[in-house]
Structure 1
């Protein structure tokens, strides 16, 4: 379905009922709102894996404005302030109260934009394979470790000066390294790709290079789960460790996952979904 949010129509998909029979009464499940990676991808990378959580949450997927099946073709609106505002406005439009907001990769940036602006709104925050501040040299070094000099060179070419051509080479040589061990990810093939949104956002000269939530994260006031893979080349483990240190220590739980790349739920599904289920239920 399409939901009108801040002048854009966001594509939203909802999995399973939120209100279920429980003995003589009814029980309301928490809403797990999933924020996909990218930008320039869509929500389909979460499917079907996150169906595993429908026993403990009503799972809500959506495509960020300008991405996937959502509208929003004005590049002036392709920024974290707007994407973060859309999270709050989407919850208001759907009548969602105290959501558990889960951001993966770029979706983690959006989750931080939202939660640092509206710290009293989420009931919980999950930040997977993401960063409060990006270090490109750390990314290039991580790709060298995972894929050798060629992978490092291709990653450096794309992230330093993003173009459609360098992005195509990056997809061919570097995207398989997002998994551990390296393997093509079928979910990327199912996604609707919006290269123009990625080129607008990615790189040191664009918003990705300027974003810095390290100070603002001290405003977070809900339980927060940070998950990071030790073999992640695009969001190296040090990014997750730094993010964790910026959050209020009494609210944060950090999960460092060995032998795991960027796509945590694909590389270590048992541990990841057990951890997520525990956090949601808690």
Structure 2
């Protein structure tokens, strides 16, 4: 009898281990317009799609720098957006907002999830908001991690904050005949020249260097180069948040000058919980234990 019980327990262990292992996989998904997207699935629990920023970066900066802690509580789906990271896409690829949103919906259907949690970071907030706004019946909840929902605001804030860090007047960049986009690029160039770019995102330069080390410039950056040809990304997405009627957790950092420490105050989510942390742009890297704690509390309310 003991042998039978032992054998049965071993069987349950193997089955359980297999079910967890099945949630850890990497694969390429071919979209309906024949673009190959790199997808990584890891963890266990409610499905959550991570929408990376950049524009044109990749999700490794999240899961390699502490974000993988969320895999203990959710099945994380990491997607390299078209024209980004390990995914396909070239200069002739469709990078419209509608097409990028469609990519996410096709992946959700392929994985067989009726609903999932949507977790954007940084520029990913624009894509996530459009996805949730367009497919409300496919979203269980949202977790916004230090996101930009208004690029015009982000540019204005970036110019102001960079000028403060450089200790120069904004007029050094906002000159007649110079667009806000050009001025925004100029302040970042000057910050890099002075080795001060880290101050826009972090208090700790070493953490900025850790993030930079994860970035691989040999990968695909076509999305980041071509996204500015699509004006729909420039809209004020905070206006659409009023119609997103699902539980929402919003992270913001009081030292996050890349999106603006008070940008979250313009969000209009009807069911939002706000966590304003003493971090810069990457709370999952800077304070991973608190980041996990707040997410766990949020997830508990979804049950």
TM-score surpassing 0.5?
A: yes
Alignment of 1:190 onto 2:236: no
Alignment of 1:276 onto 2:298: no
The match for 2:50 among 34, 40, 65 is 34
Cα distance between partner residues in 1 of 2:146 and 2:32: 28
> What are the equivalent positions in structure 2 for 1:1-282 lying under 5 Å apart?
1-7=27-33, 8-16=35-43, 18=44, 29-48=45-64, 49-75=66-92, 77-134=94-151, 135=153, 136-149=155-168, 160-161=181-182, 173=195, 175-177=197-199, 178-183=201-206, 184-193=208-217, 194-202=220-228, 207=231, 210-243=234-267, 246-248=268-270, 251-258=271-278, 260-282=279-301
- Distance apart, 1:91 and its partner CA: 0.7
Q: TM-score, normalised by structure 2?
A: 0.76
1:2-34 per-residue CA deviation (whole Å, 9 max, x = no partner) reads 011232211011113x4xxxxxxxxxx201211
1:156-204 per-residue CA deviation (whole Å, 9 max, x = no partner) reads 99972299998766656454121123443323322234454324335xx
The structure number with the bigger radius of gyration is 2
- Distance apart, 1:148 and its partner CA: 3.4
- Distance apart, 1:63 and its partner CA: 0.4
Q: 1:13 to 1:150 in 2, by over 3 A?
A: farther
* Correspondence for 1:22: none
- Distance apart, 1:274 and its partner CA: 1.2
Cα distance between partner residues in 2 of 1:220 and 1:152: 38
- Distance apart, 1:155 and its partner CA: 11
- Distance apart, 1:231 and its partner CA: 1.2
Q: 1:6 to 1:106 in 2, by over 3 A?
A: farther
Moved more, 51-60 or 187-196: 187-196
Gaps of 5+ in 2: 1-26
Contact 2:160/2:170, CA 8 A, preserved across alignment: no
- Distance apart, 1:208 and its partner CA: 7.6
Contact 2:42/2:75, CA 8 A, preserved across alignment: yes
Q: TM-score, normalised by structure 1?
A: 0.81
Cα distance between partner residues in 1 of 2:171 and 2:88: 34
RMSD: 3.1
Cα distance between partner residues in 2 of 1:174 and 1:192: 21
Q: 1:269 to 1:64 in 2, by over 3 A?
A: same
Contact 1:154/1:170, CA 8 A, preserved across alignment: no
